[in-house]
Amino acid sequence: MRDTPLPYGKQWIDEDDIAAVAGVLRSDFVTCGPKITELERVLCDYTGAAHAVALNSGTAALHAAVRAAGIGAGDEVITTPLTFMASANCALYEGAVPVFADIDEETYNIDPARIEEKITPRTRAVVAVDYAGEVVDADAIRALCDAHRLVFIEDAAHAIGSKHRGRMTGSYADLTCFSFHPVKTVTAGEGGALLCDDGERAYRAELFRSHGMEHDASRMTQMTAEQAKEEPWYYEQQMLGYNYRMPDINAALLISQMQKIDRFIARRKEIAAKYDAAFSGMRGILLQKRAPWSDAARHLYVIRLDTQALSCTRGEFYHALRDMRIYSQIHYVPVYYFPEYQRRGYGRGLCPVAERVYDSILSIPLFPKMEDRDADDVIEAVETLCRKYRR
Ligand SMILES: Cc1ncc(COP(=O)(O)O)c(C=O)c1O
């Protein structure tokens, strides 16, 4: 039995991260200032995207993506049910309708064949989530989006540093969203970013993150350059926006974390490889299939219980692991199970594969600061429970 509980995910903050934040606290800017510009350049350099817009959460990035894509009332946006609710909520924020397409039973990612079935004349976009960091079938999704004039939004909240056929997430979808919540690969405390190649969309996202306010006189519609010189305090609200600004404090933390991202991902891959070796072939455990196009940064390590081989429920397995101080998590309750969605008329049974997968999965601990002996404890605990519950 472990002395201390092992969480499923955790940030790794060092003294250099703390020093970076302290540096901002001693400077003139604590909110959106020079660190944001620096961070956006770091994200572009890392991913190969032409533009990056830093925001104060991944949720804000998704909202900005939907707005930048020009999606509005009555439009339909197709997404997966096996995700954090933000992937669907972003459509609701703009009055659009989330439409759930079922997942592939092996990769747990949205199935392009199911997307195609859900396309109607009102469909405007696909929000495809790189579940656990495994990259979606971007070629098939791109082909569907091109054929039906849809915007391809990649929710890569789990997948900064993942690659699709050698290309970094952030560099191939129309709009890509990252999250920098503490359990993610790198953290800003809270934070997100929107990446794209389209300068106009990036500009709209920048306005959107700060109330739609335009300070640049050359872009104002109600003021000439001459008038702007007379009234330098003037700014124009050009659209309805929000306060989705990331403070420089958070940006400094993230810039510091980005210097370590390759090391973090390499360590995640090492632990995941250890798990792969232990669990592949273990009766009672099924593993998420790794698609040939996906080089995942391994955000989550998901095991699926083979209910033919084991006599326990997922809930019993979860609690038994917890009794051994191994804290797993379930990613995710299908979004449309929630009261908010049930009230909107989404019924259970909508995506049977996602529902089946949800009933039998657990995310076991995976974070770069884990020691090898922590991973050994997880393997031993899973093995013990499989022996206990094997039919
Ligand atoms: C798939 C997915 N999309 C979006 C988000 C939202 O990100 P944030 O928590 O930074 O708002 C998350 C966060 O957990 C997520 O896992």
How confident is the model over 89-106, as a mean pLDDT? 98
Q: Is the pLDDT of residue 1 over 80?
A: no
pLDDT class for 224, splitting at 50, 70, 90?
confident
**Ligand 1 center to residue 236 CA distance, Å?**
31
**Ligand 1 center to residue 125 CA distance, Å?**
18
Q: Which residues of 109-131 are buried (b: 16+ CB within 10 A; e: fewer)?
A: bbbbebbeeebeeebbbbbbbbb
Give the per-residue pLDDT at 30: 87
Give the per-residue pLDDT at 225: 83
**Ligand 1 center to residue 28 CA distance, Å?**
31
Query: pLDDT tens digit string along 161-195?
Result: 999 999 999 999 999 999 999 999 999 999 999 99
Helices vs strands, H then E, count in the chain: 14, 15
Q: Considering 10, 184, 269, 274, which one is annotated as catalytic?
A: 184
359: left (phi over 0), alpha (psi -120 to 50) or beta: alpha
How confident is the model over 252-261, as a mean pLDDT? 98
As a whole number of angstroms, the distance between CA 59 and CA 193 comes to: 9
Q: Are 248 and 24 in contact (CB under 8 A)?
A: yes
- Distance, CA of 314 to chain centre: 24
Q: Which atom from ligand 1 is nearest to the alpha carbon of 181?
A: 10
Is 35 a residue of the active site?
A: no
Give the per-residue pLDDT at 340: 98
- Domains along the sequence of the chain with CATH: 15-258 (3.40.640.10), 261-389 (3.90.1150.10)
Q: Are 87 and 110 in contact (CB under 8 A)?
A: no
If one counts every other C-beta atom within 10 angstroms of the C-beta of residue 95, the result is 11
Q: Is the pLDDT of residue 358 over 90?
A: yes
How confident is the model over 211-228, as a mean pLDDT? 90
* C-beta 89 within 6 A of ligand 1: no
What residues are paired with 310 via a beta bridge?
Answer: 390
Q: Which atom from ligand 1 is nearest to the alpha carbon of 60?
A: 11
Give the residue whose CA is nearest to atom 10 of ligand 1. Answer: 58
Q: Is the pLDDT of residue 135 over 90?
A: yes
